Amino acid sequence: MRMLFLSAAALALAACASGPTGPDAAARFDTFQAIQTNDFRAYDKVQVLKPVPGPDVASRIDARTVGRRFDRRPISQQDVDAKMNDLYEDLVRELSRHAEIVDESGPGIITVRTIVTDLDANRPTMAELTDNPGLSLQSIAAGDAAVRIELIEDGQVLAVITDSDNVNNLGDPRLAGVAIWETADRFFEQVARKLGDLFAG
């Protein structure tokens, strides 16, 4: 009986923790511009394109910043590629819960095109240590991550989404024992879940 009770309690907690689905899930993003529709529940096939870095992120790849702009943290091509792969895997995992992942685009198929518009680590990366060897490995930053997502059917943009992490200070308790890419990794998982919820009905 105790095991059954715990299972029921766990299910109840899971239900409470889940957010809105379908069109109601659009409100969970920072912005959701419905150009054609905000209801994606009828779509059962999704093509997920590999995320790409936006201009600001791309301009910082292997950048040299010492003696220049302090706020432009360099990032290596290897780290950018790894983070694009991580986000792609998160998107595929969450969207596959609600739709079939396909390789082609076309009528009745939603193509997800994602641009990573901001990306910063919580701890110094190898690119930063190469750029500034005096950095301490124990340094902690709030980190950052943001995306622009276009939902497209057969070449027509149906909706445009922007979303970003909500960690904005070093006092945030989620930064305790923080990993190098803690903020970005957590945000990628969250935005993928929210996107998946658009297709849940």
pLDDT score recorded for residue 68: 52
* pTM, 2 dp: 0.84
pLDDT score recorded for residue 170: 57
Would you say residue 70 lies in a domain?
A: yes
Would you say residue 5 lies in a domain?
A: no
Would you say residue 55 lies in a domain?
A: yes
Count up the domains in the chain and report the number. 1
Would you say residue 10 lies in a domain?
A: no
Would you say residue 6 lies in a domain?
A: no
Would you say residue 117 lies in a domain?
A: yes
Residues 6+ apart with CB under 8 A from 62: 74, 75, 76, 77, 127
pLDDT score recorded for residue 83: 97
HEC sequence for the chain:
CHHHHHHHHHHHHHHHHCCCCHHHHHHHCCEEEECCCCCCCCCCEEEECCCEECHHHHHCECCCCCCCCCCCCCECHHHHHHHHHHHHHHHHHHHCCCCEECCCCCCCCEEEEEEEEEEECCCCCHHHHHHCCCCCCCCCCCCEEEEEEEEEECCEEEEEEEEECCCCCCCCHHHCCCCCCHHHHHHHHHHHHHHHHHCCC
We report the CATH number of the domain holding residue 97 as 3.40.50
Query: Rg for the chain (alpha carbons), in Å?
Result: 19
∠ CA 94-143-132, nearest 5°, is 130
Supply the range of the domain harboring residue 93.
Answer: 21-198
pLDDT score recorded for residue 65: 64
Residue 53: name the closest of 184, 158, 189 by CA: 184
- pLDDT tens over the chain, length 201 residues: 333 333 333 333 343 346 799 999 999 999 999 999 999 999 999 999 999 999 999 998 987 765 554 567 889 999 999 999 999 999 999 999 999 999 999 999 999 999 999 999 988 888 877 777 776 667 777 789 999 999 999 999 999 999 999 665 656 555 556 788 989 999 999 999 999 999 997
Would you say residue 3 lies in a domain?
A: no
